[in-house]
Amino acid sequence: MKNFSDRVVSVTGAGSGIGRAVAIRLAGEGARLAIADIDGERARETASVCSSRGIECQHYELDVADRRAFQDYRSRVLADFGSVSMVINNAGVALGADILDMEWRDFEWLMAINFWGVVNGTKLFLPDLIASGDGHIVNVSSVFGLMAIPSQSAYNSSKFAVRGFTEAVRQEMRIRRLPVGVTCVHPGGVRTNIVRDARGVGALGDQEKIVAGFDRIALTTPERAAESILKGVRRNKPRVLIGPDALGFDFITRVVGPRYQDLNAPLARVGYAIGRRYGLVKHDS
């Protein structure tokens, strides 16, 4: 897919962050957009910006974890637009907690959105993408789908799962010679609301300070992330790494292999000590 003009694109999690930036960029390139978000007002605001670019755009309130709701969403998109050429499964949430402290319901909440939301969007729309004759799937993983980080076992689980699922789907499309490209996206730190909206962060430390710290170290804007994603789609890349930190994570895991876990543990211990000193972290993890 080299050109997005007049292509119908579904974007989940489009009310803010990367999803919103991708939608706005696609609007500037003439795509027809289905804007979905669990926050209906955020979806409406993004759709308003996109529509101002002179393109056809509809907004939908959608909980990606609810398969029946996702089925209804697909039906509504097809009724409104007649076809779908690309799906961008971007919706995601975060959870900060060690496995010993984590509530089952929080783990299940995160997996339902981050993993099953991607599966729902891929499997439900795949027949339509094949029918388009030139479809594309973009599933958003994370640098935490390349390397595991303490206090992020749930998030790591979901993003490694998205990576494995997406890489398998790409191979299946190629084996069957079906006209659908598949790209897995691994953003590093992107200045979005994901930490502010995360569960469990307050139990780890001062949430406002943690959010402020994340905003300082996040190296990439949503707009730059959107540019990288669409460039990857045009090149039908299997993997898109976003930001210098993503490149660093990828490099470390390739060079060091699984030993990165042994190297990271003492570094994390030092990080927690510094965090406690400055009131960012309440306890050892």
Which of the residues are catalytic?
Answer: 155
* Dist CA 192 CA 241 (whole Å): 17
- Please state, as a whole number, how many other Cβ atoms lie within 10 Å of the Cβ of residue 166: 26
**Displacement of CA 206 from its chain's centroid (Å):** 25
Spatial strand order of the sheet with 239-242 comes to 57-61, 32-37, 8-11, 86-89, 135-140, 180-187, 239-242
Burial of 252 (0-12, 13-18, 19+ CB in 10 A): middle
Could you give phi then psi for residue 233, rounded to 5 degrees?
A: -65, -45
Residue in this structure with the two tokens 């570094």, named with its chain if needed:
267
* Distance in Å from the first CA to the final CA of the chain: 45
Hey, CA dihedral for 58, 63, 69, 74, is it positive or negative? positive
